[in-house]
Structures are given as C-alpha cells and as structure tokens.
Amino acid sequence: MGSRVQELLEMLHAMITEAWGIPLGAEKCVIERDKALDLLDEIRAQFPTELAEAKRLVDARTEFINNAKREADAIKKSAEERSKQLLDEQEVLKAAKAKSSAMLASAENSSTELKRAANAYVDDAMRRTEDALTAALEEMRGTRAKFRSAAGGNIAEQPQQQPVAEPADFDIEMDEV
C-alpha cells in the first residue's frame, strides 16, 4: 500500500491508543467518532488508487513473465531447429562420404577390370600376330624349298642369317603394360 494509506492507518492507531479508557472497562475507550470516521473515509478513498496501482504492478509482472516465457520458447525453438539442421547436415555429410566411397570402390573395380581386359586383348592380339608370322614363315620356307627344288640345286648355299628371335623369346609381364 502507498504511504498515504499507511500514514492514515497510523493516525487511526494512535487515536485509539491515546483514547481515554472507560471506568470499569479496561478494554473499552472513548474516541472522537467524527475524527475516526473521517480517517476511515480517507483510507477508503485511497484504496481504489492503491488497488489500481497494485493491479497495474501485478499486470506488468504478469506481462513481463509472459514475455520472458515467449522469448524462452522462441530461443528453445530456434535451438531445436538449429540442432535439427546440424543433424541433417551431418546426415548429408555421412551420405556423401558413403557415396564417394562407393564411387571410388566402383572406379577402382572398373579400372582393375579394364586393365585385365586390356591385358587379355593385347595378349590375344600378340598371339594372333605370332601365329600369323609363324604361318607366314612356314609358307616362306615351303616356297623357298620349292624354289630350290625347281632350280635344280644350282643355287649355292649361302650362309644363313641368324634367325630373328621368335616372339616366344620375349618375356613381357602383361601387368606392366
């Protein structure tokens, strides 16, 4: 309560305390009725102002508490959204890492398979070339032998040249290719 109401109550208390006692009535006293009623009227007049002020303070306190709760809820919601966003980003990062690992493994497998296929192709091409050269050499030897027999042995034997190394003499590691 305000200071004016407090002051009026103190005046009323003092008036009752200082009042004359009634003979044979220890608990009873005589006070000036008009003055006491005037003080009570004045106190009553002050109450609406004091009550309005108290109500305003209570309302302000309630509004402050509600605003604080709303702000706390907003902060909490924002933190939850940020937390969810970070978790989502972490999941995306995990998925990207898993996908990149899978792609790398697939590329390595493809590379190994391509290398194996290329080595097999080169080996097959070299074998076919070797077979063709061997067949051509055999045909050349047969033709030369026919030529010699048709010439009737009039061709002098010349020293044979050192034969060219056979393809089988080359040791090539196909993994090095």
Distance from the Cα of residue 154 to its chain's centroid = 94
| Backbone angles phi and psi of 27, in degrees to 5 | -95, 0
C-alpha pair distances (Å), 105 with each of 97, 101, 109, 110, 117: 12, 6, 6, 9, 18
pLDDT tens digits for range 49-65: 777 888 888 999 999 99
> What is the secondary structure of 19-47 as a DSSP string?
SEEETTEEEEEE--HHHHHHHHHHHHHHH
- What pLDDT is recorded for position 160? 60
pLDDT tens digits for range 37-46: 888 888 888 7
- What pLDDT is recorded for position 20? 80
For residue 161, pLDDT over 90 is answered with no
* Alpha-carbon gap, residue 41 to 21, rounded angstroms: 25
pTM for the whole thing? 0.38
- What pLDDT is recorded for position 167? 53
Tokens of 26: 């220890």
